[in-house]
Amino acid sequence: NAGVMQNPRHLVRRRGQEARLRCSPMKGHSHVYWYRQLPEEGLKFMVYLQKENIIDESGMPKERFSAEFPKEGPSILRIQQVVRGDSAAYFCASSPSGAYEKLFFGSGTQLSVL
Amino acid sequence: GESVGLHLPTLSVQEGDNSIINCAYSNSASDYFIWYKQESGKGPQFIIDIRSNMDKRQGQRVTVLLNKTVKHLSLQIAATQPGDSAVYFCAEKDNQGGKLIFGQGTELSVKP
């Protein structure tokens, strides 16, 4: 049973470009969460999605960031017009049931903005 | 705002000793807590969880204790091994908005 799969592991973008981060949840999981982690800090909640629905996006910046979890395919976290402050590790987690319990995390995508 | 924090940012123990990592939380209405282990360059790995209707829960070599009176959570690791070296995060489920809120983390270093 494969775990949560994230790709790419490393992503380098220049300022102003777009970044797309992908996450495939564990088999049987229909709840996906995105977190951001800065160096030597804890994880900060961004968004919680179920298939085709955004349940809670209270942690998402108001501009440039969006997330989706389509009926088919992985969840996508999209960052438009990236800035250096977007550089961070972005982790995706999935859970078998909702309500933020027993989250299983992927290995993350390290985004570096030049 | 953030409500979960750790007493000590770093902890160094001798191999074979027991480790205790502490965590304080401020939301007395939180009803679910979870511990994660994060090794360098990897994602957080689930260790153990506990609901607020319990005081103690045991796993393999780990025990989580919950003291709701003083809003304190601890993770005990028995017979600590070098492979236990990592950053440990506690997280609290905010039942107001439902989000899982993470603390800053404690770095555990195991000396051989």
Subunit contact A103:B100, Cβ cutoff 8 A: yes
Subunit contact B101:A106, Cβ cutoff 8 A: no
Between the alpha carbon of residue A26 and those of residues A46, B16, B44, B112, the distances in Å are 19, 34, 15, 36
Per-residue pLDDT at B98? 72
Per-residue pLDDT at B4? 57
pLDDT for residue B13 is more than 90: yes
pLDDT tens digits, one per residue of A55-71: 999 999 999 999 999 99
**Which chain A residue has the Cα nearest residue B105?**
A42
Per-residue pLDDT at B5? 54
The reply to whether A107 touches chain B by the CB within 8 Å rule is yes
Instruction: Report the share of chain B in percent with pLDDT over 70.
Output: 91
- Provide the pairing of β-strand B32-38 with B45-51: antiparallel
Confidence tier at A42 by pLDDT (50, 70, 90): confident
